[in-house]
Amino acid sequence: MSSSSRHSGADLSAAQDRFIAAWGQMGSTWGISRTMAEVHALLYILGQPLCTDDVMARLKISRGNASMSLRALLDWGVVARVHKRGDRKEYFAAEQDVWALTQAILRERVKREIRPVLGALYEIRELTGGRAPSGESERAQRLGEHNRRVDDMIELVRTLEQLSAKLTELPPDALRGTASALQADNDLGEER
């Protein structure tokens, strides 16, 4: 019995649907709307460009929703426009390299979430002065501790930002290398 004969044509389609559902679920626990994640999953798992109508039909969503989701995915840089000769429709294709994908997502999340928070933290820090308080009064004491806490948080967020910057600047291949190293390292650890 050949390996492929064990699977009917329905299997592929079913697997695609499950993949889309799983990815949609995942997305919704991350600030990405379920539909947007599903559209991305669809484009990724099919591996071929689709037009708005294809997406609408397969996911059973409205034209407006499909349009919005595709546009957002373009903004995130995880989906690209594709033009087909002799066809006026626009087609959309998902990034197929999962590491490049991860970098794009990371980059976007840093830009949207880390940066603004860091800005707010700096402003907050300035409210209570740039230097350690001089006095030894209880109030000076408390002010000092407060500033220490804000500074700690700033350091943390800055570090996360820098870590992300490092990761997003690396070529995707480098990340793949890191991944295997991590993998090997971990396997070793478990055998001990």
According to the binding rule CB under 8 A, does residue 62 interact with a copy of itself?
A: no
Tell me the CA distances in angstroms from 78 to 23, 102, 127, 128, 151, one per residue in order: 14, 9, 39, 41, 35
Query: In 10 A of CB 60, how many CB atoms?
Result: 6
Using CB under 7 A as the binding rule, the residues of this chain from 91 to 130 that contact DNA are: none
SS3 content of the chain, % helix, strand, coil (to 5): 75, 5, 20
Per rule CB under 8 A, count of chain residues that contact a copy of itself: 65
- Judged by CB, which is closer to DNA: 60, or 166? 60
According to the binding rule CB under 8 A, does residue 12 interact with a copy of itself?
A: yes
Q: By the criterion CB under 8 A, which residues form the site for a copy of itself?
A: 2-4, 6-7, 9, 11-12, 14-16, 18-19, 22, 25-26, 29-31, 44-45, 47, 96, 98-99, 102, 112-113, 116-117, 120-121, 123-124, 127-129, 131-135, 137, 139-140, 142-143, 145-146, 149-150, 152-153, 155-156, 158-159, 162-163, 165-166, 179, 182-183, 186
